[in-house]
């Protein structure tokens, strides 16, 4: 497998700056959705990088540090649980991606190629966007973004576990596990729960 297959399509012009984008946290019942945007040096591979879901938490943390150190630039964007309830998860995911890209463009202002995991993307002015299904397993830039997004979100949910200790967020990071659902039924939702995701729990 060529980890740079999608990136190399745009190496024909030295002016092209390629940004990989991915999200973490579309499915959980609690917490924000996170997105990360990353620009790597050309023809550069960080050994061990893979789709974040295929890596252990320890390995993701190790790679997170390497990606931050070796990338040309990176940024995070989030969309809160309240925004998810207000505009739906797809629009909130696009909003988080847009925020990540805009945050990165403040550091690297001539990004013009954006590779995004999945089959839909936000509109980004003055940029060519390519959506790649399963991109976190096919594009090195997207895989790096998936690790940054996942680690950033997991860290946030662990912090929230200290504030909302009844829900054991440190164990499930907000996903709909039996433990989490049992805690919601016992204590009711807290401020960071996505109320629009909880309707089936109370049926």
Instruction: Report, as an integer, the average pLDDT of 79-108.
Output: 97
Query: Beta strand pairing status for 18-24 and 113-117?
Result: parallel
Using alpha carbons, select from 202, 201, 196 the residue that is nearest to residue 33: 196
Which structural domain range is residue 26 located in? 5-202
Count the domains in the chain: 1
Per-residue pLDDT at 203 exceeds 60: no
Cα gap 22→146, rounded to integer Å: 5
3-state secondary structure of 74: strand
Q: Read off the pLDDT of residues 9-24 as tens digits, 9 standing for 90 and up.
A: 999 999 999 999 999 9
pLDDT bucket at 202, cuts 50 / 70 / 90: low
**H-helix or E-strand spanning residue 136:** none
**Residue 120 belongs to a domain with what CATH number?**
3.30.420.10
Confidence of residue 170 (pLDDT cuts 50, 70, 90): very high
Average pLDDT in the chain: 95
Q: Percentage of residues in the chain with pLDDT exceeding 90?
A: 91
CA-to-CA separations, 98 to 22, 23, 74, 112, 173, in angstroms, rounded: 11, 11, 13, 14, 23
Provide the pLDDT for residue 1.
78
């Amino acid at each position: 497998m060529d980890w740079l297959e999608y990136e190399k399509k745009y190496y024909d012009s030295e002016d092209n700056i390629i940004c990989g984008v991915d999200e973490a946290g579309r499915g959980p019942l609690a917490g924000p959705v996170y997105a990360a945007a990353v620009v790597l040096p050309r023809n550069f591979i960080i050994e061990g990088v893979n789709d974040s879901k295929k890596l252990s938490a320890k390995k993701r943390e190790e790679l997170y540090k390497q990606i931050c150190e070796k990338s040309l630039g990176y940024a995070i964007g989030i969309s809160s649980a309240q925004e998810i309830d207000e505009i739906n998860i797809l629009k909130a995911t696009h909003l988080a991606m847009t925020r990540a890209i805009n945050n990165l463009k403040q550091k690297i202002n001539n990004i013009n190629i954006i590779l995004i995991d999945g089959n839909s993307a936000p509109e980004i002015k003055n940029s060519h966007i390519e959506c790649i299904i399963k991109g976190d397993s096919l594009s090195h830039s997207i895989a790096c973004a998936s690790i940054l997004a996942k680690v950033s979100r997991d860290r946030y949910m662990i912090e929230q576990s200290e504030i909302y200790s009844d829900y054991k967020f440190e164990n499930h990071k907000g996903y709909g596990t039996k433990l989490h659902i049992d805690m919601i039924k016992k204590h009711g939702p807290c401020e960071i729960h996505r109320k629009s995701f909880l309707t089936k729990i109370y049926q």
